[in-house]
């Protein structure tokens, strides 16, 4: 396989879809990961003409789905150069009419578990499954799509007007995701694999009922930059388009 290969999870819409578009335009063979096969195929069809884009079923909360995706990538492409862990939720899928973020004093443990299942455990599971393929690439890149709400420094800053927005569910899940980023970055620092967290900014997506002020194209810029880092690029960082973000 001469072309670089990338997998983007949660990519049938929103920021993930635009990350796929950018990588495809940059010449990558891009696997558009979606939990629902039909939605993935529809999204890939909508991106026809943008490059080599192939839908693939990946439910980050299903071990069987993740294992099957890794096996397919190995069989069809032989390696993976880029993994973008983009799939994420901001509220429990079993409570779609609930507020975007439930206050810490009211949020149920069930909701917290559901959010962590996708935003944290799902990332660990996918990364572990794809690491053997990434190790076979000349220079692997792992990008975890995080959020500025996961910055503990930001949450502790009393001048930050958004410090309470993430509550005890979504924001802590992104803090945990950042810790996972560092754990993998530290383990892999003597390899050719770089691991970083990207904040897309307040982007209009389903996660915030499209109230965000940035477009998905803008939100995809930092994940794309980190996915395409050169050999001299950093590892173990947390950043947005403006630069580093305090952990």
- CATH code of the domain containing 113: 3.40.50.720
Question: Residue 202 belongs to what domain range?
Answer: 5-244
> Exposed, middle or buried: residue 123 (CB in 10 Å: 0-12, 13-18, 19+)?
buried
Cβ neighbors of 188 (< 8 A, separation 6 or more) are 194, 195, 235
CA nearest to 9, candidates 88, 115, 125, 71: 88
Containing 33, the helix (H) or strand (E) segment is strand 29-34
- The tally of domains found in the chain comes to 1
Q: What average pLDDT does the structure give for the chain?
A: 93
Identify the residue with better confidence: 17 or 1: 17
Q: Taking the C-alpha atoms of 129, 130, 132 and 136 in order, what is their torsion angle to the nearest 10 degrees?
A: 170
pLDDT at 143: 98
Distance CA 21, CA 220 (A): 9
* pTM more than 0.85: yes
| Percent over 90 (pLDDT), the chain | 82
Summarised one tens digit per residue, pLDDT across range 59-90 is 999 999 999 999 999 999 999 999 999 999 98
For the annotated catalytic residues, the residue numbers are 170, 174
pLDDT at 96: 53
- Pairing label, strands 243-244, 238-240: antiparallel
Beta bridge partners of 30: 6, 53
Summarised one tens digit per residue, pLDDT across range 175-221 is 999 999 999 999 999 999 999 999 998 776 877 777 766 888 899 99
Distance CA 108, CA 113 (A): 9
Q: Which alpha helices (DSSP H) does the chain contain, by range?
A: 14-25, 37-46, 63-76, 109-116, 122-135, 152-156, 170-187, 216-219, 221-227
Name residue, tokens 């990350």. Answer: 19
């Amino acid at each position: 396989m001469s072309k670089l290969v990338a997998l983007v999870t949660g990519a049938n819409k929103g920021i993930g879809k635009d990350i796929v578009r950018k990588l495809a335009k940059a010449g990558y063979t891009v696997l558009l990961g979606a939990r629902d096969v039909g939605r993935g195929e529809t999204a890939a069809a909508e991106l026809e003409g943008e490059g080599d884009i192939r839908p693939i079923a990946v439910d980050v909360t299903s071990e069987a789905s993740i294992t099957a995706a890794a096996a397919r990538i190995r069989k069809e492409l032989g390696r993976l150069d880029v993994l973008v862990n983009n799939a994420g939720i901001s509220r429990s899928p079993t409570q779609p009419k609930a507020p975007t973020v439930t206050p810490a004093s009211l949020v149920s443990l069930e909701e917290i578990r559901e959010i962590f299942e996708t935003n944290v455990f799902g990332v660990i599971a996918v990364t572990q499954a794809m690491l053997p393929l990434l190790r076979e690439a000349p220079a692997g890149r792992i990008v975890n799509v995080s959020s500025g709400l996961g910055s503990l420094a930001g949450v502790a800053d009393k001048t930050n007007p958004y410090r309470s927005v993430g509550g005890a569910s979504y924001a802590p899940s992104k803090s945990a995701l950042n810790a996972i980023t560092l754990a993998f970055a530290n383990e892999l620092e003597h390899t050719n694999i770089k691991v970083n967290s990207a904040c897309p900014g307040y982007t209009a997506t389903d996660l915030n009922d499209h109230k965000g002020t940035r477009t998905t194209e803008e939100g995809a810029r930092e994940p794309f930059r980190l996915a395409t880092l050169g050999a001299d690029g950093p590892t173990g960082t947390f950043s947005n388009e403006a630069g580093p973000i305090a952990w």
